[in-house]
Chains A and B, each alone.
Chain A
């Protein structure tokens, strides 16, 4: 059974940093691209960032470029999102999402974690 367990969320001040983790199990982690998708309170889903199965290719939404960094450790079956220069508008539940494909070429999300809440407020 595929399991994705996010951690690392919490309350942070504007300008601060957080590192999210997603522990994966139940599938061959290195064979699947992974993504972070967020959902602000009461709002819709918004793609944040993705990384290929090998970790060699990364992709970012414009609103996080230069502030967030996605990475993965295939030896630990873990996905990360380093979030710097946080803003109030980054407040959201952040979901870890698995693609059915090793690349970001025409790969849809087939499994989601339960999410971790990030709150940016002074």
Chain B
């Protein structure tokens, strides 16, 4: 089974900050990785697929990079609406999700 290690588990940041979340995978998945945003009581929302492709309608301050076993999600300038929990997901073999990163206001 493919294991996902997402870090950090919690991140405190301020409006305007640049933040990066990392996802490490136990085996190479090429670029078959997606990122989701989830707010309390709501369903997840797709942000990025194929490691770096921005989903339509998602603000350009979100970006993704990486391939193989290490991936990052970067938010270039935090906005109030960005405080949420973020998950990475591999879809090379079935689905596996990272443990999540809760982005909190500092």
- Contact residues of A with B, CB < 8 Å? 35, 37, 44-47, 50, 59, 61, 95, 100, 104, 106-115
Contact = CB atoms under 8 A, between A and B. Distances in A.
Interface residues of B, number: 23
Q: Determine chain B's interface SS by DSSP, over half rule.
A: loop
A82 to B, nearest CB: 20
B55 A44 contact: no
B97 A45 contact: yes
A113 B45 CA distance: 10
Contacts of B36: 45, 109
Contacts of A44: 87, 97-100
Contacts of B87: 44-45
B3 interface: no
B71 interface: no
A26 B63 CA distance: 28
